[in-house]
A and B are shown apart, each in its own frame.
Chain A
Amino acid sequence: MAVTVRLPGQLRQWADGQKQVEVESASVGDALQNLCSRYPSVGERVLDEGGQRRRFVNVYVNGEDVRLLQDDSTPLRDGDEIIIAPAVAGG
């Protein structure tokens, strides 16, 4: 599936300055792996040494937190938008 991954500001310098990257992936975990292998410096920041998403990295598919969906197994459809954002809350 062709999906768009939107990057937060501090990651863009590690992805040739792009705000968003297109990847072909069937699931969220797959999309993150594809992104991180294409841009290893993004990968170091998003995934820990064991390949798990870091605690303060939030991922959304079409605005929904993947932890409220099927996390890394969440299936993707053509045109889906993945957002990577730092975890920050309180208001």
Chain B
Amino acid sequence: MYARGLICRVCGKQSELAVRYYCDACFGPLEIDYDYAAIRKQVTRGHVAAGPDSIWRYGALLPVDRKPVDLGTGWTPLLRAERLGARLGLRNLWLKNDSVNPTFSFKDRNVSVAVNTALAYGYDTFACASTGNLAGSVAGFAARAGLKSYVFVPSDLEQNKLLSAAVYGATLVTIDGNYDAVNRLCTQIAEEYGWAFANINLRPFYSEGSKTVMFEIVEQLGWEPPDAVVVPMAGASLLTKMNKAMHELVKVGWLQSADTRLIGAQPEGCSPVVRAFASGSDDVSPVVPDTIAKSLAIGDPADGHFALRAIRDSNGTAGAASDAEIVEGIRLLAQTEGIFTETAGGTVVAVARRLREQGLLQQDERTVLCITGNGLKTPEALDGEIFSTIRLPRASLSAFEAVIEEQAA
């Protein structure tokens, strides 16, 4: 394994690889450090290409040192999107469709790493604080790995998100409060119980999984990084880790340079990072979320500070979309490209549209939209939407013909 230790993202203090998540000197978040020089010498693009059709083709840059428990996460389709591109005014548009992961969201990337960390360190219970997608993923992978699981979520989540965690046998703990309250409670529970919380005490390991979406995008484009990626932001870890991924690809010699613009997308009803970006601040002030995009409803994004830096350093930008625009984004993606995404994906489409209109995305930029989750988990977002249907009183050809003729008239 090339992972060689933990390093504090704030003060740089190094420590040995262990289940710890914040710096004992300054409380800064810890992340995994690798022996990049050794990877550069020993692992090539050719080795990657010969690897499995999953995130494990990038095993050199993941902190897992065992034959992984797996459900087939990653290596999801990167699709050219000409019809959506025509509607948005983007001539070189691609979609990274992570809604087809094993539990139907990008979180499987993180959880694939976290579950193997839990097993490596001998835990018997796997847990998380979640806005929904993570809960399903933790529950599914716990079942696969033979671990007990507890998932903690706000009680007002969409029904299918609750179901898609409970079905795997997890103990579902619903809490009357927003995600930030659930998260705070879970940091306390993680201190008192000897459980592996995927996104708390295993966080340095867990968050590494997010890098693989960027690795895949670059490899699927023939090792030509895109000009821009549009990424949904909740805790803002995904964007931050996609930035780490770009820099690692250069460090290990698989890319010459990393100059993809990182573009963050949030719903207007929970846009603390976008606000901080617009105001030029380095600090993200927490907000109380109010949006249909519940998977993005994190009012206190702990990685917001790092995401801001990554966006600015990459000459990127950030934008927000209203609930109505998010719903329109869901429809537009479904009706132009055949992908039914949840509210986070709708947010990405809607923000891309706005930024194009504002001239902040250029029509020729090679742009990738990260579609992170599946629309069947959030049907409530489409309540009240009207879709084209025909109701026939009986199974009669003439009745059908009458309706079609009427429509044509």
Q: Which residues of A contact B (CB under 8 A)?
A: 6, 8-10, 44-46, 54-58, 60, 63, 65, 67-68, 83, 85-91
Contacts and interface: CB of A to CB of B under 8 A. Distances in A.
Contacts of A68: 286, 288
Given A88-B302, A90-B237, A45 B184 contact: no
A83 B184 CA distance: 9
Contacts of B131: 91
B181 A46 contact: no
A89 B191 contact: no
Dominant SS among interface residues on chain A: mixed
13 contacts: A10-B22, A45-B25, A55-B28, A55-B283, A56-B28, A56-B29, A58-B184, A58-B300, A86-B187, A88-B203, A89-B303, A91-B129, A91-B130
Interface size class of B (residues with CB under 8 A): 35 or more
A54 B181 contact: no
Contact of B10 (A44, A46, A56): A56
Interface string B167-211: 000000000000111111001100100000001100100010000
Interface of B: 10, 20-22, 24-29, 128-131, 134-135, 179-184, 187-188, 191, 199-200, 203, 207, 234-237, 283, 285-286, 288, 298, 300-303, 305
Contacts of B10: 55-56
Given A89-B179, A90-B298, 16 more contacts: A9-B191, A44-B25, A45-B26, A54-B28, A56-B28, A67-B286, A85-B188, A86-B187, A87-B27, A87-B29, A88-B21, A88-B199, A90-B207, A90-B235, A91-B234, A91-B298
B302 A10 contact: no
Contact of B199 (A6, A56, A60, A90): A90
B181 A63 contact: yes
A68 B184 CA distance: 14
A58 B304 CA distance: 14
B314 to A, nearest CB: 20
